[in-house]
Amino acid sequence: MNPRTLRHLPAAFFLLLGSAELISEAKADPAPAADVVYVTGQVHQQGPIEIPPGQTLTVHKVIILDGGLGDFADRLHIKLMRTNPDGTSTTIMVNLATITDRNHLEKDPIVKPGDVIVVPMLPIDYTSPK
The conformation of residue 120, written as its DSSP 8-state character, comes to P
Residue 116: its pLDDT value, please? 97
- Name the residue range of residue 90's domain: 36-119
Q: What pTM value is reported for the model?
A: 0.70
**What is the mean predicted confidence (pLDDT) over 42-68?**
94
* Number of independent structural domains in the chain: 2
Mean pLDDT, the chain, rounded, equals 81
Do 43 and 10 share a structural domain?
Answer: no
Look at residue 73 in the predicted model and tell me its pLDDT. Answer: 96
Q: Residue 55: is its pLDDT beyond 70?
A: yes
Q: Which residues contact 67 (CB under 8 A, 6 or more apart)?
A: 43, 44, 45
Please indicate, yes or no, whether residues 66 and 52 belong to a single structural domain of this protein.
yes
Residues 98 and 41 in one domain: yes
Which amino acid appears at position 20 of this protein? A
Return the percentage of the chain with pLDDT > 70, whole number. Answer: 72
- Spatial distance between the Cα atoms of 53 and 31, rounded to a whole number of angstroms: 16
